[in-house]
Structure 1
C-alpha cells in the first residue's frame, strides 16, 4: 500500500508499505538519484517471507513532493524520523543504499538511532561522497543534459551485464526526480561528510559493499567498518554499486540472517 506522510507544510513524502502485518520491519532508504523502486527485487521476495518492507522516497525524488530546499543530511534524516514517528515504528531494521546510507548514518547519529534495532549500510556514500571533480562533472551534465547524466550513472553503476530494457527502466527511475533536487544532492555529496557521525553508532550494523564499485570505492566500506564499533563487513565479489540487484539472492539471504 502506498500513502503520503507530511514532513512539513507543503512537503509530503511517499511511502510504500508492503505487508504491514509482517513480523519484522525493514525500512529501505534509496540512493541518489533513484527512488524506493530500486528495491523491487527485495519487495518481491521479502514480504512473501513474512517481512514488512517500507520504502521511503526522499523529498525531491520518486513520488514525493519536490520542494526547492531541504537537501542536506540533517533535513533528510529528520524526514525519516517524521515517517518513523508517524507510523509508530519500533525495533526495525534501517537499510540505506549509497546516499541513503549516508542519510541512515546521520539519522543514527542525530536521532540516537530512534526505533532502530539493526542498521544495514549498502555501498554507503560515507564517510565522504563525491570528489570535487566528479561533482563538477555531474552538476554540469545535470544542468545541461540530465538524461545523458543518468545514462553515465547507469553505465558505471553495475559490474554485471544489464539488458537495455533494464537500463532504460533504471534511467527513467532517476529522471522521476526533480532537476533541482538532483543537483542539490550532488552538492550535498561534495560538501558534507560523516566522519563524526560514525563513532556515535552503537547499533549492530551490517555493511554490504560491492568489490567492483566504481561509484563509492570498496575502501570506504573498510573505513566505515573500522569506525562503527559493532559492525561487520560482507564483501560482494561480483557486484559494483548495486549488490541488491547484482547478487540479489545473496543480498536477501544476508539481510535475513542479520535481522
Structure 2
C-alpha cells in the first residue's frame, strides 16, 4: 500500500491520495488548492484504467506547513513523492501555478521518472512585465491576500469557474481559507516573480498544453500560447469558452484528453 504521508523533514509530511491501477498520473493542484480539486477528474481517469496520484502541496490541505515555497523547494517536494512511491513512466498534470513546479522539477531532477507533461491553465512562463503586471502590483496583491483573503475570494471565485453551483464555490473558497496564510502569500509571490522561460525551452519530452480561451487568471495568449512557443514540439489544445477552473467545469473532457495520451 502507498503511504498516506510522504516525509519531508523532521515533523513534516505531504499528504497523498493514490487511487486505482494502471499507468501513473500525478495531478498537481494550482495555487491555494489541494488534491481534492482533482476528485472528479481522478474518478474518470480511474475508470479509463489510469492510476491517479494527487498530493497536497506544502502548506495546503492536509500537508504540514514548513518554509520553502520557492519553485526549487516545491520541485524537490515533487521529487520526494515520485521517489517514495517509486513511480516510473509518470504523466505530470499540472494546473495553474503548479506548472512551474513541474517544469522546475524537470530541470532539477531530470526526466528519468517522467514520460510526459500536461500543463492545464498553466501560469507563466513570466508574469511580471507581461499584460502590464508590475512588481508593485504583485506586492499589492500579496498584501490583500495577507490581510483580506475572504474579500479577494469574493471578488475572484466566480471567474475561476463560471456557472459553478454555489455549494461548489463555497467548497473551493473554504479550500483557499484552509491553506496556511503564509503558503497563500509566498506561493503567489513565487508564481508572479518567477521566469520559467529558460526552463521551458529546455524540456525534452512530450508536452500537451490545455488552456481555456476564457481564462482570466492565466490568459491564453500570455500563458498557454507563450508556453507553446517556448517548449519544443508542444501540442496546444484550446478549450473554447472555458475559464481557469477546467477540472471543475470540464472534468470529464479533461480526463478524456489526459487518458488519450496516457493509455495505449
How many residues align structurally?
255
Residue in 1 that maps onto 2:240:
237
Residue in 2 that maps onto 1:18:
19
| Offset from partner CA, 1:34-62 (integer Å, 9 cap, x none) | 10111121122211332110001110111
State the superposition RMSD in angstroms. 1.6
CA distance in 2 between counterparts of 1:258 and 1:77 reads 23
Contact 1:123 1:210 in 2 (8 A): yes
TM-score normalised per structure 1: 0.93
TM-score normalised per structure 2: 0.92
* CA shift for structure 1 position 133: 5.1
Residue in 2 that maps onto 1:121:
119
Q: Which runs of 5+ in 1 are unaligned?
A: none
Secondary structure class of the residue paired with 2:4: strand
Superposed counterparts of 1:24-173, under 5 Å: 24-67=23-66, 69-129=67-127, 131=133, 132=135, 134-158=137-161, 160-173=162-175
Q: Which runs of 5+ in 2 are unaligned?
A: none
Contact 1:25 1:92 in 2 (8 A): yes
1:257 aligns with one of 230, 243, 260: 260
CA distance in 2 between counterparts of 1:206 and 1:231 reads 6
Contact 2:213 2:238 in 1 (8 A): yes
| Larger RCO (alpha carbons 8 Å, 6+ apart) | 2
Contact 2:42 2:255 in 1 (8 A): no
Contact 1:60 1:177 in 2 (8 A): yes
CA distance in 1 between counterparts of 2:141 and 2:153 reads 9
CA distance in 2 between counterparts of 1:208 and 1:229 reads 16
